Amino acid sequence: MRGRWGIALAMLVGCGGSTASPGGDAGGADAGGGVESGFDAPIVTFDSGLPGADAQPDVVTVTKPFDGTTGQMCTTDSDCQAPGGPGNTLCSPTVFTPETYYPTAVCILPTCSPVSDTTVHYCDGPDDPSSPGICVPQTTGGICLPKCTFDKMGSPAIGCIGKDVCDVYTSDTSGGVGYCWGGCTQDGDCPTGQHCQTDQGLCMEGVVPPTKAFGVACTQADSNAGACNCLYGGTAMTGYCSDFCIVGGAPTCPAGSVCDGLEYRQYGYTLSNPGLAGYCSVGCSAGDAGPACPPNSSCTNVFAAGPDCVP
C-alpha cells in the first residue's frame, strides 16, 4: 500500500529538498573503512615547545563519520551538528524550506543510499538498528528520516517527538520499523506561518485542497499530482482517495471508515498501534462483495484495523 508517504517524499526535490548542501550518507555500509564504533582515530596536536617526554596534547579533535542526531528536536541547524561530526545533519525547516512538513522540527540527514523499498537501510550511524534514522527512497537517492518502532502487542509507536507521527516502513514477526513524517491534523499543530494539509498530515506554507473526493477512484499519478491522498496498490498502482489519520488519535475519518496503520495480521499484528500514521479506509464486513467497497478495492482482513477496503 502506498499513498501520502509516497507522494510527499516524491515532492521533496521540488519543495526545497535540493536547497541544502548535505554530504553523503554516513551509514555503516557507506562510511568506508568499516568503522564499527562510529569513531575514527583521534587527531592529537602537541605543543612543540615542550620536551618530547613531557609533551601534553594541546588540542584533541575526535572526528566521527556521522552526526548521529537524526530525530532530535531542533530550532537551528547547529542543534543537529554534533561535536566532531561532519555537520551534514540539518534542521527539517532548512531541508524542506519553504515547507516544514513536521509539526515538531527535527534533525534530518538530507541524503542517503537506500537499499530497496522493503529492506531497511539505517543511516546517520552504522547500518544497523542502533542508528537513529532509516533511509527512505525518493525519486532519486534517499533521505534519512528519524526512525521509529512498534511492536505486535498494540503498544504505542515509539521514537517520534512532539506531534510527529510514525509511518510504517516494514513489519515482520520480530517487530515493525517506521520513520517519523508529518503528523498535523489542524493548523494549530504546525509552526507559525505554516498550515496543515489535512488530507496528508503535513505542515506546509500553503495548502491545496484535493480535487478528488474521498472514496473515488485514483492512481499513483493522482497522488503525485496532489489530486488526493490516494490509497493505492497492486501492479496497476490504483486505489481510492483517502485521508490522513492517526491511529488512536482524535477521530478525523469520515463516518463509516477506520484509521488503518497497515500492520499485517499475518505477522501477528492483531491490534493497531497508537501513534502510527494511517489511512482512512472504508470499513466493511468480511465476505462483502466488491461493490460494497470503493473502486479498485475489496473487503479484506489483511491489516490489524480490518476488515476494511484495501486495493
pLDDT (mean) for 124-146: 93
pLDDT of residue 238: 96
pTM: 0.79
pLDDT band at 165 (very low <50, low <70, confident <90, very high): very high
- The answer to whether residue 247 sits within a structural domain is yes
- The answer to whether residue 16 sits within a structural domain is yes
**Which domain range does residue 80 map to?**
4-29+65-180
- The answer to whether residue 146 sits within a structural domain is yes
Q: Does residue 150 or residue 10 have the better pLDDT?
A: 150
> Are residue 243 and residue 156 in the same domain, yes or no?
no
> Are residue 170 and residue 306 in the same domain, yes or no?
no
pLDDT band at 291 (very low <50, low <70, confident <90, very high): low
- The answer to whether residue 158 sits within a structural domain is yes
Pick the last residue of a domain from 180, 210, 240.
180
Pick the last residue of a domain from 113, 145, 180.
180
Tens of pLDDT, residue by residue over 236-253, are: 999 999 999 999 999 999
The mean predicted confidence, pLDDT, of the chain is 83
pLDDT (mean) for 230-234: 93
> Are residue 220 and residue 156 in the same domain, yes or no?
no
| pLDDT > 90 in the chain, percent | 69
Q: Per-residue pLDDT for 175 more than 70?
A: yes
pLDDT of residue 240: 97
Tens of pLDDT, residue by residue over 35-88, are: 333 333 333 333 444 455 455 555 545 578 999 999 999 999 999 999 999 999
Q: Does residue 119 or residue 130 have the better pLDDT?
A: 130
> Are residue 75 and residue 222 in the same domain, yes or no?
no
- The answer to whether residue 39 sits within a structural domain is no
Q: Does residue 272 or residue 292 have the better pLDDT?
A: 272
pLDDT band at 285 (very low <50, low <70, confident <90, very high): confident
> Are residue 159 and residue 83 in the same domain, yes or no?
yes
Pick the last residue of a domain from 149, 180, 211.
180
pLDDT of residue 275: 96
Total tally of structural domains belonging to the chain: 2
> Are residue 24 and residue 133 in the same domain, yes or no?
yes
For residue 62, give the nearest of 85, 37, 93 by alpha carbon.
85
- The answer to whether residue 43 sits within a structural domain is no
> Are residue 230 and residue 285 in the same domain, yes or no?
yes
- The answer to whether residue 47 sits within a structural domain is no
> Are residue 133 and residue 237 in the same domain, yes or no?
no
> Are residue 19 and residue 130 in the same domain, yes or no?
yes
- The answer to whether residue 125 sits within a structural domain is yes
> Are residue 224 and residue 164 in the same domain, yes or no?
no
pLDDT of residue 58: 53
pLDDT band at 194 (very low <50, low <70, confident <90, very high): very high
> Are residue 121 and residue 17 in the same domain, yes or no?
yes
> Are residue 175 and residue 254 in the same domain, yes or no?
no
Q: Per-residue pLDDT for 14 more than 60?
A: no
Q: Cis before residue 98, ω within 30 degrees of 0?
A: yes
What's the 3-state SS for the chain? CECHHHHHHHHCHHHCCCCCCCCCCCCCCCCCCCCCCCCCCCEEEECCCCCHHHCCEEEEECCCCCCCCCCCECCCHHHHCCCCCCCCCEEHHHHHCCCCECCCCEEEEEEECCCCCCCCCEECCCCCCCCCEEEEECCCCEEEEEEEEECCCCCCCECCCCCCCEEEEEEECCEEEEEECCCCCCHHHCCCCCEEECCCCEEECCCCCCCCCCCCEEEHHHHHHCCCEEEEECCCCEEEEECEEECCCCCCCCCCEEEECCCEHHHCCCCCCCCEEEEEEEECCCCCCHHHCCCCCEEECCECCCCEEEC
pLDDT band at 301 (very low <50, low <70, confident <90, very high): very high
